[in-house]
């Protein structure tokens, strides 16, 4: 998500509904569980913040996208120790590497071209000169490769979707697309429109103008769950019917900044300020509140398999939540030794979580959920990886499926 990385703001005009239900069922229960002391992380050195971590036992394939011109795209197979470098990576792309569900490597090798490296090592160039002049991101939406133009070229360039073999290419409108790929669609026009990546046809999105509020809200989180779409802003949480785009419910009170949300069965969990707030999935009435003690505007949910965590970049902690109550069950210090000015970016791979801290080592490290610890890459891989990592991709075909 996973934090949702938002490229811009959204005018979300939704009203704040009154809580008119049964007070016995809508009243919020506040809980303040005993604080969970974070497990300290082995300390490194000033030159190597990750030196104290154990070497990872994971066997994932990770791809590190460079941020410095001249640096290569590096793909490391942790099972075999093999490290491959690709010197033709186009570093002007912000997020230029991904994997298909069957393990093919896809990356940007020019302002308007892709390369697909098949599972047997064959190289397949895919030029997109006629559709796009300046690629910013490449990602997978289901089985389709989706290529987004940069903000600067969005008025003339088009979003492009295609199969990994280069077939069935289609183009979307010349339009800046939000950084949301939810429910199998790419979203644009402030969530009012969505694009089907199979046909590139534009469909109606959410009716975000349907409400009496005169205030605009920055969208911090957006999730699609079944037939519903949930949107969180700095002061509001709303539920929309996905098929019609109609506004169905808003939270029963004005919220302080909501940094993330996640649907959980018959509930919706949000991080509001330093607390986890549990809302009714249908009415969005508040059910209970759990003190998390997070920094507020930096905390985000991370779902790994059947577990759910809160990643707090500000306090440099990863906290496992009780899946039923949302109360903190266990916590770990992050290996970034305190507050980071640059977000720690998580990438969920099966049961495990890979992270990159742009302020410290700028090098990937993993949280091994089975062992309950942070781990670093092997020294021979680290020596070839180099610094400056910001975008990281993990091969899903080599990652155990979540439980």
The 8-class DSSP code of residue 396 comes to G
For position 17, what pLDDT does the model report? 34
Q: Residue 35 pLDDT more than 90?
A: no
Beta strands of 52-96 (E only): which ranges?
61-65, 73-77, 82-86
Beta strands of 15-70 (E only): which ranges?
29-31, 61-65
For position 12, what pLDDT does the model report? 39
d(CA 267, CA 254): 18
DSSP, collapsed to helix, strand or coil, labels residue 383 as: helix
* Confidence class for position 184, pLDDT limits 50, 70, 90: very high
- For the chain, domains (ranges, CATH) are 25-398 (2.130.10.10)
Query: Parallel, antiparallel, or unpaired: how do β-strands 123-127 and 113-117 relate?
Result: antiparallel
d(CA 244, CA 240): 8
Residue 263: name the closest of 242, 234, 293, 292 by CA.
Answer: 242
For position 353, what pLDDT does the model report? 94
| Rounded (5°) CA angle 270-272-275 | 90
List, in sequence order, every residue forming a beta bridge with 308; answer none if it has no partner: 303
* Confidence class for position 50, pLDDT limits 50, 70, 90: confident
d(CA 223, CA 97): 24
Tokens of 12: 């979300």
pLDDT in tens, 357-380: 666 557 889 999 999 999 999 998
For position 9, what pLDDT does the model report? 33
d(CA 162, CA 84): 25
Tokens of 346: 């998580």
DSSP, collapsed to helix, strand or coil, labels residue 385 as: helix
pLDDT in tens, 244-291: 999 999 987 778 788 899 999 999 999 998 899 999 999 999 999 999
List, in sequence order, every residue forming a beta bridge with 202; answer none if it has no partner: 195
For position 228, what pLDDT does the model report? 96
Q: Which residue has the higher pLDDT, 225 or 215?
A: 225
* Confidence class for position 401, pLDDT limits 50, 70, 90: low
Q: What is the mean pLDDT of residues 207-222?
A: 63
Q: Which residue has the higher pLDDT, 92 or 113?
A: 113
Cα 236 to Cα 1, 6, 101, 218, 252: the distances in Å are: 20, 17, 35, 10, 9
Q: Which residue has the higher pLDDT, 351 or 235?
A: 351
Q: Residue 173 pLDDT more than 90?
A: no
Q: Residue 175 pLDDT more than 80?
A: no
d(CA 380, CA 248): 54
pLDDT in tens, 76-94: 999 998 999 999 998 888 8
* Confidence class for position 24, pLDDT limits 50, 70, 90: very low
The 8-class DSSP code of residue 129 comes to T
Q: What is the largest CA-CA distance in the chain?
A: 64
Kindly state the percentage of the chain with pLDDT values over 90: 49
């Amino acid at each position: 998500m996973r934090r949702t990385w938002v490229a811009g703001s959204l005018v979300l005009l939704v009203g704040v509904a009154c809580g008119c239900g049964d007070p016995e069922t809508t009243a919020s229960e506040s809980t303040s569980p005993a604080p969970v002391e974070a497990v300290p992380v082995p300390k490194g050195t000033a030159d190597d913040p990750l030196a104290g971590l154990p070497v990872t036992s994971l066997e994932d394939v990770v791809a590190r996208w460079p941020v410095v011109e001249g640096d290569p795209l590096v793909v490391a197979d942790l099972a075999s120790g093999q490290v491959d470098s690709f010197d033709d990576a186009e570093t002007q792309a912000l997020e230029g590497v991904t994997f298909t569900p069957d393990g093919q490597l896809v990356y940007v090798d020019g302002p308007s071209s892709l390369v697909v490296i098949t599972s047997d090592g064959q190289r397949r160039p895919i030029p997109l000169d006629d559709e796009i002049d300046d690629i910013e991101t490449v990602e997978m939406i289901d089985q389709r490769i989706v290529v987004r133009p940069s903000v600067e070229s969005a008025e003339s360039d088009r979003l492009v979707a295609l199969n990994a073999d280069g077939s069935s290419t289609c183009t979307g409108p010349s339009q800046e697309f939000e950084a949301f790929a939810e429910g199998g669609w790419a979203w644009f026009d402030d969530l009012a429109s969505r694009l089907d990546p199979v046909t590139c046809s534009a469909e109606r999105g959410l009716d975000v103008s349907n409400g009496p509020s005169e205030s605009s809200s920055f969208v911090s989180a957006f999730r699609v769950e079944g037939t519903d779409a949930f949107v969180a802003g700095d002061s509001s949480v709303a539920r929309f019917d996905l098929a019609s785009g109609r506004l169905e419910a808003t939270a029963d009170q004005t919220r302080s900044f909501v940094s993330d949300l996640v649907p959980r069965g018959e509930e919706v969990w949000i991080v509001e300020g330093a607390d986890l707030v549990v809302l009714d999935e249908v009415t969005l009435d508040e059910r209970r509140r759990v003190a998390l003690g997070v920094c507020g505007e930096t905390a985000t949910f991370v779902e790994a398999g059947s577990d759910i965590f809160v990643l707090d970049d500000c306090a440099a902690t990863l906290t496992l939540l009780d899946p039923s109550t949302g109360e903190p069950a266990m916590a770990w210090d992050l290996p970034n030794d305190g507050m980071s000015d640059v977000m720690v970016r998580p990438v969920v791979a099966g049961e495990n979580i890979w992270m990159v801290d742009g302020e410290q080592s700028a090098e990937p490290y993993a949280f091994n959920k089975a062992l309950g610890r942070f781990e670093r890459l092997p020294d021979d891989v680290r020596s070839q990886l180099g610094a400056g990592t910001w975008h990281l991709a993990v091969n899903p075909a080599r990652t155990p499926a979540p439980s």
